Structure 1
Amino acid sequence: MQDVLIIDDTEINLILFSALIKKLDNCRSHNFESPLQALDWAATKQPDLVIVDYMMPGMDGLEFIQRFRALEGCEEVPILMITANDQKQVRYRALDSGANDFLAKPVDKVEFLARAKNMLSLSAARRKLADRAEWLDAEVKKATAVIVQREQETVFRLCKAAEYRDPETGAHILRMAHYSRLIAKYLGLPEADQDLILQAAPMHDIGKVGITDNILLKPGRLTGPEFEIMKQHAEFGYELLHGSTSKVLQAGAEIARGHHEKFDGSGYPHGKKGEEIPLFSRIVAVADVFDALTSERPYKKAWTLEQAVDFLNAGAGTHFDPACVQAFLNGFDEILEIRDRYQEEEEAAGPQM
């Protein structure tokens, strides 16, 4: 059923136009003598055609068209204006305001029906096109969701590969990934970037798959030469992930290479400092260190929350980006919720991103 909105301050014209509309198939009219009442109706119901008289008290047809076009969803609705034959200047102004066609008074019934029918056909075609576009958008979203799901599975399997070799992964990667997302949120990053860092952060130490067991699994402190070998995992991770067309893997490569850089330039592998270090890497540096400090491992006891926070504050401006530290602290209540949610015994349950 197509809806025709008719606005005319003369009752006999409303009756005439309404009777003519009834002659068209599958159409119904909604008649208003008051332009304001018609606008109120159109604000919640989108018509397929508008027929409006120019000469009306209070609000003429030109003002009505301008206000109607400003309503959401009414930008493309066909508008047929009724004017006198000698009102060419009015017609020009009406075209500028958004009118699509005109009828001259006295209205010819045959011409009225022909013009209304043509404009309703255009409106129906427009709606079909909009429905088609909406359907295509839904299909694209479905296909994208499948790709994202496969991508997330790839990321998780890559992280599991590191887990088999590195005793410090597992629930750690879930916690630090969610910490990273929270920092991004409090930095004011768009939600898309928040989701991206959540998916990419778990790959920060994927390069450790390239480190030999005698160094990676050594229970005591590493010697100088051993630590130099260990530092290579940052570049290994980058080499493993970069070059991909996936935004997640690209972000993972950036994080893997940069999360051990320090804000004052004393980090590795390239000694970058300040904003030379990619933002995602600066974010992950805070999240990763905090979780490492507050997690108990066979070779160390967990630090208290207060000790870990003091460490972050002390390192702001040297080790860490101060803005990232502050963002972390701004969301500290949520940090504690994340810490409680992802405990070591939950590792076996798989990814919960």
Structure 2
Amino acid sequence: MSDGPLILVVDDEDRNRRLLEALLIPEGYSVKLAKDGYEGVEFSVKYSPAVILMDVMMPGISGFVATKQIKENPQTGIIPVVMVTSLDDVSDRVQALESGADDFLTKPVDRTELLARVRTLVKLKDYSEQLIHYHQELEREVERKTAQLSKALEKLRSSSLQTIFRLSRTAEFKDEDTGAHIQRMSHYSAAIALEMGLSDTVAEHILYAAPLHDIGKIGIPDRILLKPGKLDPDEWEIMKRHTTIGARILEGDPSGILRLGEVIALNHHERWDGKGYPRGLAGRKIPLAARIVSIADVFDALLSPRPYKEAFSVDKTLEIMAGMRGTNFDPDVSDAFMRILDKIMHIKDTFLDEECHGLYCFEGDSMA
């Protein structure tokens, strides 16, 4: 048998099969013979021929049905099928086309026409296979490039967030806050944001921007920042400047986490009743992210020891915060906080001061 392109001949008459075989083999083609439509469908899958020469009128299933089955199978759908028939009625040719046939040959078969059709369809099969291979390679390359891009973006995101974390920790070296405080208040803020119906993306941005709320404290003198007693009026005016200092440190980024950090740093000491600082904003004029971070920051600060006070109990803290609803805090934010107290307490117990040392508190961090 020749090593040339394989041609599958499907015909229920042995004489017709042998005739086509005799015409094709001398031209360098390999030939496989099938005696009916069932075998034709089976051999099309088994041998994946370059071209199928399909008789129409056969016992069992007709050439129309066999061709339709071959064309509907993803494994064999690209194989060109030539209907070899003595039928010349237009309706028969329409039915053949509807079955998926690619061409026709009329019995008795003309040798020159047969070889011309087969030669053309073998090339068509080769082109189709090359096109499929090209698309498969292209899809693999797109998947590879997409994976590389995703990995690069994740690396860039991780690097950017580590930069933000390191920036947020600079204030810690001068202030009484610990890494665990920053972790807790950030996660409180994200949890409240989700409870209020904000998207996962917005909540995640708040999670990573919240640590920047007190970055401006690096500009406050230690004698004021670490003073164990109550600040006098002049000292208090200097302390309040940490909001504007923080905003100036973070300004200039038109979008993203640093921009949100700027908004939070500037506004997290504003009060719902307008008696906060630095601008005395009231109500919804205060950006929502700052209103959320404010309640998270105060909750954790009340529970934590400071140079000027002991840590309050959870019950005392919640009592104080309930009294701040509608004065210090946005009532909606306060209500959202109270609705998720179980989650808040879980966060509190997850990030303990003694378990956070330097930047390691942030490694592998997520919103989970």
Would you call these one fold, judging by a TM-score over 0.5? yes
**Who is 2:205 aligned against?**
196
Rounded Cα–Cα distance in structure 1 between residues aligned with 2:76 and 2:219? 68
Paired AA for residue 22 in structure 1? P
| More divergent stretch after superposition (233-242 vs 278-287) | 278-287
Which residue of the other structure, out of 293, 296, 300, is the alignment partner of 1:287? 296
User: Which runs of structure 2 are paired with 1:87-236 in the superposition (5 Å)?
Assistant: 103-104=102-103, 109-110=118-119, 112-236=121-245
Gaps of 5+ in 1: 1-9, 25-31, 54-82, 95-100
SS at match of 2:361: coil
| More divergent stretch after superposition (340-349 vs 208-217) | 340-349
Gaps of 5+ in 2: 1-36, 52-64, 81-90, 107-116
Rounded Cα–Cα distance in structure 1 between residues aligned with 2:41 and 2:75? 17
Q: Deviations over 1:179-230 (max 9, x none)?
A: 1121122223333323222222111000011112222122222223322221
**Who is 2:38 aligned against?**
11
**Who is 1:21 aligned against?**
48
Q: 1:235 to 1:111 in 2, by over 3 A?
A: same
SS at match of 2:102: strand
Q: Are positions 1:351 and 2:361 aligned together?
A: yes
Q: Deviations over 1:110-144 (max 9, x none)?
A: 55544443333322222222221211111112222
Rounded Cα–Cα distance in structure 2 between residues aligned with 1:323 and 1:340? 25
Alpha-carbon offset, residue 16 of structure 1: 6.7
**Who is 1:328 aligned against?**
337
Q: 1:109 to 1:194 in 2, by over 3 A?
A: farther
**Who is 2:18 aligned against?**
none
Q: Are positions 1:247 and 2:256 aligned together?
A: yes
Q: 1:225 to 1:298 in 2, by over 3 A?
A: closer
Question: Do the aligned partners of 1:84 and 1:104 also contact (CA within 8 Å) in 2?
Answer: no
Rounded Cα–Cα distance in structure 2 between residues aligned with 1:84 and 1:184? 68
Rounded Cα–Cα distance in structure 2 between residues aligned with 1:48 and 1:348? 60
Rounded Cα–Cα distance in structure 2 between residues aligned with 1:265 and 1:104? 83
SS at match of 2:299: helix
SS at match of 1:351: helix
Rounded Cα–Cα distance in structure 2 between residues aligned with 1:126 and 1:16? 26
Rounded Cα–Cα distance in structure 2 between residues aligned with 1:48 and 1:234? 67
Alpha-carbon offset, residue 106 of structure 1: 6.2
Rounded Cα–Cα distance in structure 1 between residues aligned with 2:158 and 2:342? 30
Question: Do the aligned partners of 2:48 and 2:76 also contact (CA within 8 Å) in 1?
Answer: no
Rounded Cα–Cα distance in structure 2 between residues aligned with 1:269 and 1:112? 80
Q: 1:257 to 1:85 in 2, by over 3 A?
A: farther
Rounded Cα–Cα distance in structure 2 between residues aligned with 1:331 and 1:84? 73
Which residue of the other structure, out of 267, 273, 277, is the alignment partner of 2:282? 273
SS at match of 1:22: coil
Rounded Cα–Cα distance in structure 1 between residues aligned with 2:231 and 2:160? 35
Find the structure with the greater CA-based Rg: 2
Rounded Cα–Cα distance in structure 2 between residues aligned with 1:242 and 1:162? 17
Which residue of the other structure, out of 320, 324, 327, is the alignment partner of 1:318? 327
Question: Do the aligned partners of 1:156 and 1:351 also contact (CA within 8 Å) in 2?
Answer: no
| More divergent stretch after superposition (304-313 vs 177-186) | 304-313
Paired AA for residue 11 in structure 1? Y
Alpha-carbon offset, residue 236 of structure 1: 0.5
Q: CA RMSD in A?
A: 3.7
Q: 1:305 to 1:316 in 2, by over 3 A?
A: same
| More divergent stretch after superposition (198-207 vs 276-285) | 276-285
Paired AA for residue 185 in structure 2? M
Provide TM-score, normalisation by structure 1.
Answer: 0.70
| More divergent stretch after superposition (322-331 vs 234-243) | 322-331
Q: Deviations over 1:22-78 (max 9, x none)?
A: 349xxxxxxx98x99x99xx9xxxx5774699xxxxxxxxxxxxxxxxxxxxxxxxx
Paired AA for residue 182 in structure 2? I
Paired AA for residue 272 in structure 1? L
